[in-house]
Amino acid sequence: MLLTLDVGNTNVTMGVFRDDTLLGTFRMTTKLPRTSDEYGVLICSILEYRQIHSQEIDAVIIASVVPDIMHSLTSGVIKYLKVQPLIVSAGVKTGIRIATENPKQIGPDRIVDAVAGYDLFGAPVIVVDFGTATTYDLIGPGGVFEAGVTAPGIETAGRSLWGGAAMLPAIEIRKPSSILAKETVSSMQAGLVYGAVGQTEYILQKMKEESGYLEAKVVATGGLGKIIARETKSIDVYDPELTLNGLRLIYDKNKR
Contact (CB, 8 A) for 254 and 246: no
Three-state secondary structure readout of 170-201: CCCCCCCCCCCCCCHHHHHHHHHHHHHHHHHH
Helix (H) or strand (E) holding 88: none
DSSP annotation of 102: -
Q: How far apart are CA 76 and CA 38, in angstroms?
A: 7
Residue 72: Cβ within 10 Å count: 17
Of 123, 121, 136, the closest CA to residue 246 belongs to 121
Which letter does DSSP use for residue 113 in this model?
H
Number of H helices, E strands in the chain: 7, 11
Of residues 6, 109, 113, 119, which has the active-site annotation?
109
Q: Catalytic residue at 109?
A: yes
Q: Which burial class, exposed, middle or buried, applies to 201 when counting CB atoms under 10 A from its CB (0-12, 13-18, 19+)?
A: middle
Helix axes 154-164, 184-211, angle to 10 degrees: 140
Dihedral of CA atoms 149, 154, 160, 161 in degrees, nearest 10, equals 130
Q: Map residue 162 onto helix, strand or coil.
A: helix
Give the C-alpha separation, 127 to 249, whole Å: 16
Residues tagged active-site: 109
